[in-house]
Structure 1
Amino acid sequence: MIPLPPQLVLLSALVAIALADNAPYRPSPPPPTYSAPTPSYRAPAPSYNAPQPVSPPKYDFSWNVKDDYSGNDYGHQEARDGYDTQGSYYVLLPDGRLQEVTYTVNGDSGFVAQVNYQGEAQYPAQQGYGSAPSYQAPAPSYQQPRPSYA
């Protein structure tokens, strides 16, 4: 094999590149443009002010829960007429007392509560498990293996 001069190798490489890319240059099309459509409706401007009530608020509700199995006993009652609110709630405490809260709210006077307790707090002695169980395993018995000659 006859060695070729480096100039000839370089020239043949350039000719091969030029012949391989014989497609005419075509620029890619520009990206599509998008214009958002204008809305065809008129939305009302947002309002952050609550509408004024037509009449003063007035309601009355109550609910109670009494479950002897779980020991739950609680409830709530409230009545409102305009700016005058009166109510009460109660709950049976774990120590056996009944806590009752009676409250009023009149205009800007704020929340005024009176707390009452019925009954005597009971703290029964804790039940123990008695004496600690004794876990004594029987003493192991080891027998000397007897040799077996077959």
Structure 2
Amino acid sequence: MACKLIVLAALVAVARAGYLGAPAVYAPGAPIAARAYAAPVAYAAPALRAAPVAAAVPAAVAAEYDPHPQYSYAYDVQDALTGDSKTQHESRDGDVVQGSYSLVEPDGSIRTVDYTADPVNGFNAVVHKEAGAHPAPVVAKVAAPVAYAAPAIAKVAAPVAYAAPAYGKAILG
């Protein structure tokens, strides 16, 4: 039991010791003998580190900031094989974004959403729904439930007695 305790204490000590340091790095022109028989690297306990300091943003990154961003994009999908049909377009001019998207609902209607976003009014969307080419599914009305009668159990004649096969000669009489 004492041996297990010593091994456990040794493992905990090694785990808490931290990083042992990287192996020595040799110059590419160092002789092979120097690389093979290097002196062992001494271990020093890790020093306490100061709190991280925020790094300054490089000037190249700061110069890429656009105070008045602008973009515009659009796409349209019309897949006759799967029936997928949707469109979207959006544009931005500074802090104002305007756009619209539409798609075909499962019932065949077309949902169109027009939206705007700006720092004064926030995000606003207006949804329009138009009847599509597919009619809405019709739900069939079911008549009153039919009474269920349990099946009649047929009576079976009594089982036929089974006789074990006779071994030996049969006696006919």
Indicate the structure with greater helix content.
Answer: 2
TM, length-normalised to structure 2: 0.44
Structure 1 or 2, whichever has the larger Rg, is: 1
TM, length-normalised to structure 1: 0.50
